[in-house]
C-alpha cells in the first residue's frame, strides 16, 4: 500500500455507524471582517492532531479505543445563512442517529446551525468578543452576531467566558447574560468560574463553543480577529475538561493558521481532551 496523507482527525477511524463521536469540518470564512483564513482551520487542526499520543495520561484514556469518526468537511455554500442551514441539517441528522457531533470551524457563524439543531437549555462560549450584534455586514449570520442569534433560539442561560471586546450596545445586552471577562477570569481563577457555571447549569442540556480568539493572541496568534489580554490555553483546557461530561455537543472555531502552528495545536489538543473527558464519564454507559 502507498502512503496516504492524513485527511482525517487522528484516531477518528471508526465508521459512522460504529462511532459515538462524529467530527466534521466547516471550512467557511465568508463573513470574515479582518483577516481571512479560518477556512483552513479544519485542515490545520487535523494535520497537527497526528503530533499527539493516543494515550492522554492526565485523563487516563487512550483515544485509540474510543469510537470516533471524521466525516470530512461540509462543502459550504457562499452565503452565511445557507451555511448555517447546512450545519443545522448535518447536526440534526447526527443527533437523530444518536451520535455526538464535534464541529471544527471555520468562522464562528457556523455554531448557530448546531444550536438550532440541538436546542440546548444552556450555552457556554469562550470568546474574546461578545458576538452580540443584531446584524453586521448586512447579514444576521455574521461571525459578530453568533451569541445574539443563540440568545434568540430559546437558550435559557448563556455564559460568555474571556470576553474583552464589544460595543456599548452589546455590553448593555450582555447584562442579562452570565459574562465573565478575561480580567474576571484572571482575578477569580478559572476554577471558581467553572464551579459557578456547573451550579447554574444544574444538569440541564449544554452546548459548548470555543472561539480560538478567547485565548490571548500573544499565546496563539493564528486568529482572524486577534485580541491581547485574553484568557490562557490552560484556562480553556480546564474549562473544557470540566464541562465536557455535561455537554451534548462541542465546537472549536476561528482557528486561522497564519502562525507557526500554535493555535491549531492548542485546538487539536483541547478537542482530544474534550473527547477523552466526555468518554471517561459517559463512555461505559452506552
Please report, as ranges, the residues that interact with Mn ion according to CB under 5 A.
108, 127-129, 131, 211, 213
Nearer to Mn ion, 206 or 223 (CB): 223
Distance in Å from the first CA to the final CA of the chain: 36
Q: What angle separates helix 233-243 from helix 190-201, to the nearest 10 degrees?
A: 30
CB of 253 vs Mn ion, minimal distance in Å = 7
CB 129 within 8 A of CB 142: no
| Minimum gap (Å) between residue 218 Cβ and Mn ion | 16
**Closer residue to Mn ion (CB): 20 or 225:** 225
Closer Cβ to Mn ion, 125 or 276, answer by number: 125
We find the least distance from the C-beta atom of residue 184 to Mn ion, in angstroms, to be 17
Q: Which is nearer to Mn ion, 66 or 215 (CB)?
A: 215
Distance from C-alpha of 199 to C-alpha of 167, rounded to nearest angstrom: 29
Nearer of residues 127 and 235 to Mn ion, judged by Cβ: 127
Shortest spacing between CB 131 and Mn ion, in angstroms? 4
Question: What are the CA-CA distances from residue 32 to residues 39, 99, 122, 141, 158 (Å)?
Answer: 10, 30, 27, 11, 24
Q: 95-101: which pairs have CB atoms within 8 A and are 24 or more residues apart?
A: 95/249, 97/16, 99/16, 99/19, 99/20, 99/21, 99/22, 100/20, 100/21, 100/22, 100/248, 100/249, 100/278, 101/22, 101/24, 101/249, 101/250
* 8 Å CB contact between 139 and 105: no
* Identity of the residue, 99 or 108, whose beta carbon is nearer to Mn ion in the bound complex: 108
CB of 213 to Mn ion, least distance (A): 4
**Which residue number, 59 or 219, has a Cβ lying nearer to Mn ion?**
219
DSSP 163: E
In terms of CB distance, is 129 or 278 closer to Mn ion?
A: 129
CB of 217 to Mn ion, least distance (A): 11
**Cβ 223 to Mn ion shortest distance, Å:** 8
* CA–CA gap between residue 161 and residue 282 (Å, rounded): 25
- Give dist(CA 154, CA 26) in Å, integer: 24
Other C-beta atoms lying within 10 Å of the C-beta of residue 9: 28
Q: What is the chain's length?
A: 286
CB of 101 to Mn ion, least distance (A): 19
Amino acid at each position: 500500500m502507498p502512503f496516504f496523507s492524513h485527511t482525517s482527525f487522528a484516531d477518528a477511524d471508526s465508521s459512522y455507524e460504529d462511532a459515538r463521536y462524529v467530527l466534521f469540518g466547516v471550512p467557511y470564512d465568508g463573513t470574515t471582517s479582518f483577516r481571512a483564513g479560518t477556512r483552513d482551520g479544519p485542515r490545520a487542526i487535523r494535520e497537527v492532531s497526528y503530533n499527539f499520543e493516543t494515550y492522554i495520561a492526565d485523563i487516563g484514556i487512550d483515544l485509540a479505543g474510543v469510537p470516533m469518526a471524521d466525516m470530512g468537511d461540509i462543502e459550504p455554500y457562499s452565503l452565511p445563512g445557507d451555511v448555517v442551514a447546512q450545519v443545522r441539517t448535518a447536526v440534526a441528522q447526527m443527533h437523530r442517529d444518536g451520535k455526538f457531533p464535534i464541529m471544527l470551524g471555520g468562522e464562528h457563524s457556523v455554531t448557530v446551525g448546531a444550536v438550532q439543531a440541538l436546542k440546548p437549555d444552556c450555552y457556554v462560549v469562550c470568546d474574546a468578543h461578545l458576538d452580540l450584534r443584531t446584524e453586521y455586514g448586512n447579514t444576521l449570520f455574521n461571525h459578530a452576531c453568533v451569541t445574539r442569534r443563540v440568545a434568540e433560539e430559546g437558550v435559557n442561560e448563556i455564559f460568555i467566558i474571556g470576553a474583552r471586546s464589544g460595543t456599548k450596545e452589546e455590553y448593555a445586552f450582555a447584562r442579562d447574560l452570565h459574562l465573565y471577562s478575561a480580567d474576571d477570569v484572571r482575578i477569580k481563577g478559572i476554577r471558581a468560574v467553572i464551579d459557578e457555571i456547573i451550579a447554574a447549569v444544574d444538569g440541564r442540556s449544554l452546548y459548548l463553543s470555543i472561539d480560538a480568539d478567547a485565548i490571548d493572541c500573544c499565546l496563539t496568534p493564528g486568529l482572524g480577529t486577534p485580541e491581547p489580554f485574553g484568557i490562557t490555553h490552560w484556562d480553556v483546557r480546564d474549562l473544557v475538561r470540566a464541562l465536557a461530561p455535561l455537554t451534548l455537543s462541542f465546537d472549536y472555531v476561528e482557528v486561522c493558521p497564519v502562525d507557526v502552528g500554535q493555535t491549531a495545536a492548542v485546538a487539536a489538543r483541547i478537542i482530544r481532551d474534550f473527547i477523552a473527558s466526555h468518554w471517561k464519564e459517559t463512555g461505559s454507559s452506552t
